[in-house]
A and B are shown apart, each in its own frame.
Chain A
Amino acid sequence: MDFSLNSEQILLKDTVTRFLGAHSPFESLAAARAEPFGWRSGVWQGMVELGLAGLPFAEDDGGFGGGPEEVMIVMEALGAAQPPEPYLTTAILGGTILKSASESARAGLIGQIAEGTLRLAVAWQEAATRWSADEITASAEPSGSGFLLSGRKAFVLDLAGASHVVIAARLGAGLGLFLAAADRLTGRTTGYATPDGRRAGDIDLGGLWLEADALIVAPDEGGEVLSRALDAAAAALACEAVGAMQAALDLTVEYLKTRKQFGVPIGSFQALQHRAADMFVALEQARSMAMRAIMAQSSLPSEASAREIAAAMVQIIDASRYIGQQAVQLHGGIGMTEEYRLGILFRRLTMIGRLFGDRDHFLDRLVAGPSLLERIEP
């Protein structure tokens, strides 16, 4: 039983926080969104040089050997600062899929992530899949020496700046995971902004032909690999949410102490004090569940770990909504303005439950299984 960070982890936390404070302050985010990809190559390169991109990968594969806890530390810091650089999609979501690719397929690719040259987007969702990989209809069939794909992909996060895209498509009775260089998709994509200051896009796969070695995860394993990657991404997202919630609470408390009405700081009013206290309680309960999700990944079999992550997301999505809403409310009018830094936190906290599943989605997964409580026989 241990909830503490070791000295290297504390150093990592300080390093990432300092870097983001210096290179990605709130004031720089609007300009970042106006960049061609919606993020800054300089900041991404800085994150790469700190070793963050290669952090979650084994050293043998060219990574830096970090585990779920290191991911937690990085994601919390990113949550507080909200840089739009494509960390979650490349290092966690796409990266987890690459880890499961055959050795020949992943050879060199993870090293390229660590060097910052490979940036991944994962095209798994479609307009009608609503977070369920079972609903995927895009398909591939053998054609010549490769595969011919058909169908459409939607809500592909960080598609604009990706160098490569992982595409999930039905293949025979299973789900194949293909890797395509972004230039193969030229003319097939439609990009758009997302409410949380990032980018996403849709892909028309119709008639796209890929070589045989583009299939990096075979159809009999694709569903399982994708679902593990989505779980890892959800756990990382839970940690990002904790960082964002902490930042929103800190801003709110600071505002309550400084904003005066009726001649006194509004934080002296009990109605507002109690609201802030409830936000703090919600944050700590959410943090506890995010920590469980992180620890589960290194200590539990994947099915049990998936349940812990689903449980964490139920708590995280609830808390993100509550803390986001209350932070805006307690700020009053200023909380509604684009120029104030709470806005981006509130919008991201709202979108947390849109990326890999909403509260109902994760609750359904819990309901489908046995009790979450370990059983003792009296």
Chain B
Amino acid sequence: MDLRLSAEDLAFRDELRAFLRASLPAPLARRLRTGGKASPEELRAWTRTLADRGWSVPHWPVEWGGTGWSPLRQMIFRDEVQQFPAPEPLSFGASMVGPVIYTFGSQAQKERFLPRIARLDDWWCQGFSEPEAGSDLASLRTRAEPAEGGWRITGQKAWTSLGQHANWIFVLARTDRTAKKQNGISFFLVPMDSPGLKLVPTELIDGSHEVNELFFDDVFVPDENVVGELNKGWDYARFLLSNERTGQARVGLAKARLRRIRELAAAPPDGGPAPLDHPAFQRRLAELEVQALALETTLLRIVASGGGEEGEANPVSSILKLRGSELQQATAELLLDVAGPAALVWPYGPGEGAPLWGADAAPTYFNLRKLSIYGGANEIQRTIVARSILGL
């Protein structure tokens, strides 16, 4: 047993750090460090910078732009990007539909879509959840009827993240209503500008426009945009969701936020008493640092045992989703407390919008409540652990 990175992996990490320092535009780096976000244009430009270096989709097969890195190196890469922090790749393309296409898609689909995902030429969004199909995704009702040369999709999707920036969406729709619920679902690739497809924003409790409702009214999709076999969409969706779970530990983000909290708590930008001088605060911070180390080590154990491999629905990865989301939420809570009264500034309402340092604290805290809800709610993860690992 040895927790240390090899000299080669350390050199690899240093190379990543040097690349991030040299390549991420300084204003964006500053904004991300202080809790801000990258704009769609910035994310596109950054993805192309990564693609030019060959690093925009590290986990993909080499022939489609992947790196051939070991699972450990992929983890180091994610961790360095999150800790820097630099923008993370748009998961809907790089981690969700991309792997489905290169694993189950036709050669034509691979050639058409994968290079454009790797450079973020296409912005993908996800059409899975519905108003009546959340955790029970297989009860989805959106249906696709056969039509000349393809299918016509009718129904409603919900919680589609960043759909307002997307030009493509991957959609689960029912193609056989007589089959058992998991068996009659197919996986479609649909242009967002298809006639009959309408997007309605959903405003969230953090004031952001992050998710949308989508209405499909007889939207035509050609046969060539069905992925893999008809009525096998549920298998592809499960494959996709199992990949999503390993990425959800996101320890690097938690560590970056904890560092920022320590800095702010040691010297609040407004002056005034430092929360870090308060013993109760010191203990809360130390407790979260311990939790971050525990999660990081669990992640390393899973990666080292091969459990981080793509497509492997390793039930142990449910731990990563559970503890990862809880840790992120706990760090956001501590950030809110560090901000103190500065968290009263709401960046979205009327007024002069005083650019105070604490203005992201409350929105971040509100927004990150989503982490224990999406990607298989934490209650679903507990059921997976109980059934698949403990055999209950």
Residues on A lying within 8 angstroms of B by beta carbon are 1-5, 69, 253, 256-257, 267-268, 270, 272-274, 276-278, 280-281, 284-286, 288-289, 291-292, 294-296, 299, 311, 314-315, 363, 366-367, 371-373, 375-376, 378
Contact = CB atoms under 8 A, between A and B. Distances in A.
Given A281-B319, A288-B297, A315-B294, A253 B390 contact: yes
A311 B293 contact: yes
A69 B382 contact: no
Contacts of A363: 283, 286-287
A253 B392 contact: yes
A373 B300 CA distance: 16
B286 A284 contact: no
Given A267-B392, A276-B386, A314 B290 contact: yes
B392 A1 contact: no
B341 to A, nearest CB: 25
A281 B294 CA distance: 11
Nearest to B389: A280
A373 B4 CA distance: 15
A181 B297 CA distance: 43
B279 A1 contact: no
Nearest to B392: A267
Nearest to B279: A367
B297 A292 contact: yes
B392 to A, nearest CB: 4
A244 to B, nearest CB: 18
If over half of B's interface residues share one DSSP class (helix, strand or loop), that class is named, otherwise mixed; here it is helix
Which of B80, B295, B316, B385 is most buried by chain A, counting CB atoms within 10 A of its CB? B385
Contacts of B304: 1-4
A71 to B, nearest CB: 12
B108 interface: no
If over half of A's interface residues share one DSSP class (helix, strand or loop), that class is named, otherwise mixed; here it is helix
Interface of B: 1-6, 9, 17, 21, 29, 33, 72, 80, 83-84, 255, 258-259, 262, 279, 282-283, 286-287, 289-295, 297-298, 300-301, 304-305, 316, 319, 322-323, 379, 381-383, 385-387, 389-392
A69 B83 CA distance: 31
Contacts of B322: 281
B2 A274 contact: no
Given A270-B383, A274-B383, A280-B385, A285 B295 contact: yes
A367 B286 contact: yes
Given A2-B1, A3-B301, A277-B390, A285 B323 contact: yes
20 contacts: A1-B6, A3-B1, A3-B300, A3-B304, A4-B1, A4-B304, A267-B392, A273-B383, A274-B383, A276-B392, A277-B385, A289-B290, A289-B293, A289-B294, A291-B1, A292-B293, A372-B290, A373-B259, A376-B80, A378-B29
Contacts of A294: 1
B74 to A, nearest CB: 13
B197 to A, nearest CB: 38
Given A295-B1, A372-B289, A274 B386 contact: yes
B305 A3 contact: yes
A3 B301 CA distance: 6
Contacts of B83: 376
Given A311-B290, A367-B279, A367-B282, A291 B297 contact: yes
Contacts of A256: 392
Given A273-B390, A372-B290, A373-B289, 18 more contacts: A1-B9, A3-B305, A268-B392, A277-B386, A277-B390, A281-B322, A281-B323, A285-B298, A288-B295, A289-B294, A292-B293, A295-B1, A296-B3, A315-B290, A366-B286, A371-B262, A373-B258, A376-B84
Contacts of A2: 1-2, 304
A287 to B, nearest CB: 8
Contact of A274 (B3, B17, B319, B382): B382
Which of A253, A294, A296, A378 is most buried by chain B, counting CB atoms within 10 A of its CB? A378
Contacts of A280: 319, 385, 389-390
A77 B379 CA distance: 32
A291 B279 CA distance: 29
Which of B2, B21, B29, B84 is most buried by chain A, counting CB atoms within 10 A of its CB? B2
A280 B298 CA distance: 12
Nearest to B383: A273
Nearest to A250: B390
A276 B17 CA distance: 41
B323 to A, nearest CB: 6
4 closest residue pairs by CB, A with B: A273-B386, A288-B297, A277-B385, A277-B382
Contacts of B2: 1-2, 295, 299
Given A273-B382, A274-B379, A288-B301, A372 B293 contact: yes
Nearest to B281: A367
A371 B383 contact: no
B382 A367 contact: no
A295 B3 contact: yes
Contact of B298 (A268, A284, A366, A371): A284
A376 to B, nearest CB: 6
Contacts of B6: 1
A27 to B, nearest CB: 26
